[in-house]
Amino acid sequence: MSDLKERFAALGVGVPEVYLPAPGTDYPAWAVVACDQYSSEREYWERVSLLVGEAPSTLNVIFPECYLEDDDKAERVVRIQAYMKKYLAMGILRKQEPGFVLVERKTPYEKYPRKGLVIAVDLEAYQYGKDVTSKIRPTEGTIVERLPPRMEIRRGAPLEVPHIMLLIDDPDRTVIEPLHDKMDALPGLYDFDLMTGSGHVRGAHVADPVDLEKLAGALERLANAKVYEDKYGSADVLLFAVGDGNHSLATAKAVWEETKKTLEGDPGLTSHPARHALVELVNIYDEGLPFHPIHRVLFKADKKSLVADLVKAGAILEPMPFADAVKMTDDYRGPEHRFVYVSDTEAGLMRFRAPTDKLATGTLQVLLDAHLKDHSSTGIDYIHGTESLEALARKPGNFGFYLPPIDKGSFFGTIIRDGVMPRKTFSMGEAPEKRFYIEARKIVL
Amino acid at 356: T
Residue 154: other Cβ atoms inside 10 A: 23
Nearest partner of 127 among 12, 274, 8, 272, judged by Cα: 12
Q: How does the average pLDDT of the chain come out, rounded?
A: 94
Please, which residues have CB within 8 angstroms of residue 252's CB and are 6 or more apart in sequence?
A: 123, 154, 160, 274, 277
Is 252 in contact with 154 (CB distance < 8 Å)?
Answer: yes
Q: CA-based Rg of the chain, rounded to a whole angstrom?
A: 22
Euclidean distance between CA atoms 116 and 214, whole angstroms: 16
Burial letters for 361-381: b for 16+ Cβ neighbours within 10 Å, e otherwise? bbbbbebbeebbeebeebebb
pLDDT at position 34: 97
pLDDT at position 358: 80
Euclidean distance between CA atoms 251 and 302, whole angstroms: 35
3-state secondary structure of 252: helix
Per-residue pLDDT of 294-334, as tens digits, reads 999 999 999 999 999 999 999 999 999 999 999 999 999 89
Where do the DSSP E strands lie in 54-111?
A: 93-95, 100-106
pLDDT at position 408: 82
pLDDT at position 123: 98
Mind spelling out the 3-state secondary structure of 203-232? EEEECCHHHHHHHHHHHHHHCCHHHHHHHH
Is 397 in contact with 299 (CB distance < 8 Å)?
Answer: yes
- What DSSP string describes 165-178? EEEE--TT--SSHH
Is 259 in contact with 158 (CB distance < 8 Å)?
Answer: no
Euclidean distance between CA atoms 401 and 303, whole angstroms: 13
3-state secondary structure of 51: helix
pLDDT at position 228: 86
Q: Apex CA 44: angle with CA 40 and CA 45, to 5°?
A: 95
Euclidean distance between CA atoms 321 and 349, whole angstroms: 9
Nearest partner of 1 among 221, 203, 216, judged by Cα: 216
Q: Is 210 exposed, middle or buried (0-12, 13-18, 19+ CB in 10 A)?
A: exposed
Nearest partner of 199 among 98, 105, 267, judged by Cα: 105
Euclidean distance between CA atoms 390 and 380, whole angstroms: 15
Nearest partner of 95 among 441, 367, 445, 443, judged by Cα: 441
List, in order of start, the domains of the chain with CATH numbers.
2-290+430-442 (no CATH), 293-405 (3.30.1760)
pLDDT at position 19: 98
Residue 231: other Cβ atoms inside 10 A: 14
Amino acid at 158: P
Which element (helix H / strand E) includes 191? strand 188-193
pLDDT tens digits in sequence order for the chain, 445 residues long: 679 999 999 999 999 999 999 999 999 999 999 999 999 899 999 999 999 999 999 999 999 999 998 999 999 999 999 999 999 999 999 999 999 999 999 999 999 999 999 999 999 999 998 889 999 999 988 889 889 989 999 999 999 999 999 999 999 999 999 999 999 999 999 999 999 999 999 999 999 999 999 999 999 999 999 988 888 888 899 999 999 999 999 999 999 999 999 998 888 888 999 999 999 999 999 999 998 889 999 999 999 999 999 999 999 999 999 999 999 999 998 999 999 999 999 999 999 999 988 889 989 999 999 999 999 999 999 998 889 899 999 999 999 999 998 878 778 888 888 788 887 888 888 889 999 999 999 999 8
Instruction: Say what angle helices 360-374 and 303-312 make with each other, to 10 degrees.
Output: 130
**Cα 292 from chain centroid (whole Å):** 12
